Structure 1
Amino acid sequence: MPHLGINEITFLAQGLKWTLFLTAIGFAGGIVFGLVIALGRVAENRALRMAAAGWIAVFQGTPLLMQLFVVFFGLPLLGVNVSAWLAVAIALTAHASAFLGEIWRGAIQAIPKGQSEASHALGLHYRSRMFDIILPQALKISLPATVGFLVQLLKGTSLAAIVGFIELTRAGQIVSNQTYQPLFVFGLVGVLYFLMCWPLSHWGRRMEARLAQDPR
Structure 2
Amino acid sequence: MGLGEFLFLLTGLKWTVALSAIGFVCGSVGGLAIALLRTSGVRGLERLAAGYIALFQGTPLLMQLFVVYYGLALIGLHLSAWVAVSIGFTLHASAYLGEIWRGSIDAVPRGQTEAASALNLKYTSRMKDVVLPQAIRISLPATIGFLVQLIKGTSLASIVGFTELARAGNIVSNQIFEPLLVFGIVGILYFLMCWPLSLYGSHLENRLAVASR
Equivalent residues in 2 for 1:1-216 (5 A)? 4-215=1-212
Q: What residue identity is the alignment partner of 1:214?
A: A
Unpaired runs of 5+ residues, structure 2, are none
Q: Hey, what's the Cα distance between the residues in 2 that align with 1:73 and 1:104?
A: 31
Q: What residue identity is the alignment partner of 2:12?
A: G
Q: Hey, what's the Cα distance between the residues in 1 that align with 2:187 and 2:3?
A: 19
Q: Hey, what's the Cα distance between the residues in 1 that align with 2:76 and 2:124?
A: 39
Unpaired runs of 5+ residues, structure 1, are none
The alignment's TM-score, normalised by the length of structure 2, stands at 0.98
Q: What residue identity is the alignment partner of 2:141?
A: P
Question: CA shift at 1:183, angstroms?
Answer: 0.3
1:82-113 deviations in whole A, cap 9, x for unaligned?
10011101010000001000000000001111
Q: What residue identity is the alignment partner of 2:99?
A: E
Question: CA shift at 1:215, angstroms?
Answer: 2.1
SS in 1 for 2:150: helix
Cα RMSD of the aligned pairs, angstroms, is 0.8
Question: CA shift at 1:188, angstroms?
Answer: 0.4
Question: CA shift at 1:78, angstroms?
Answer: 2.0
Q: Hey, what's the Cα distance between the residues in 2 that align with 1:80 and 1:37?
A: 26
SS in 2 for 1:128: helix
1:10-35 deviations in whole A, cap 9, x for unaligned?
11111000000000000001100000
1:139-191 deviations in whole A, cap 9, x for unaligned?
00000000000000000000011111100000000000001100000000000
Question: CA shift at 1:5, angstroms?
Answer: 1.4
Question: CA shift at 1:56, angstroms?
Answer: 0.3
Percent sequence identity over matched residues?
65
Q: Hey, what's the Cα distance between the residues in 2 that align with 1:27 and 1:7?
A: 30
Q: Which segments of structure 1 move beyond 2 Å, counting only runs of 4 or more?
A: none
Q: Hey, what's the Cα distance between the residues in 1 that align with 2:189 and 2:47?
A: 41
The number of aligned residues is: 213
SS in 1 for 2:76: coil
Bigger shift: 77-86 or 167-176?
77-86
Q: What residue identity is the alignment partner of 1:33?
A: G
